[in-house]
Amino acid sequence: MELILLRTYYPEGTNGQLMENEKPVSCTIELPWKNNEKQKSCIPEGSYLLKKFQSKKHGLVLEVCNVPNRSAILIHKANDAKKQLLGCIGPVTTLDKKRMGVGWNSGKALAAILSIAIPAIEKGEEVVLTIKKA
């Protein structure tokens, strides 16, 4: 299974649309692009294997594997990229139209992603996240 993340970059944050089979699953928020700098930048565009991960801080989430020069990149709840993310991806149901990297109802959006990805992972399917510019 492949999930596609189409990103739009802004100086204050990165907004995205996560799709499965051309159907929207959720919006996303991330830090702005800052040359893949640890804890300050979103991760590079590319394709990444997703794995189920039980985080002490965030509970059941997805880990984005094999990110160049980065580790511990997760898809977890967050409504404000600058306040709640250190390079991870925050799913949201709605993007704030005035503030980039900010959105709403992250828990609901994460649940939607997990409901698609976890059953596939548990069946032994590879779940790949492909990140592209919108």
Q: What is the pLDDT of residues 71-102, one digit of tens each?
A: 999 999 999 999 999 999 999 999 999 999 99
Please provide the size of the chain in residues. 134
Tell me which residue of 55, 109, 51, 99 sits closest to 78, measured CA to CA: 109
The CATH architecture assigned to 2-133 reads: Beta Barrel (2.40)
Q: What is the pLDDT of residues 19-78, one digit of tens each?
A: 999 999 999 999 999 999 999 999 999 999 999 999 999 999 999 999 999 999 999 999
What is the distance of C-alpha 62 from the center of its chain?
9
Residue 5 CA to residue 58 CA, distance in Å, equals 21
Q: Where are the domains of the chain?
A: 2-133
**Beta strands 13-20 and 23-30: pairing type?**
antiparallel
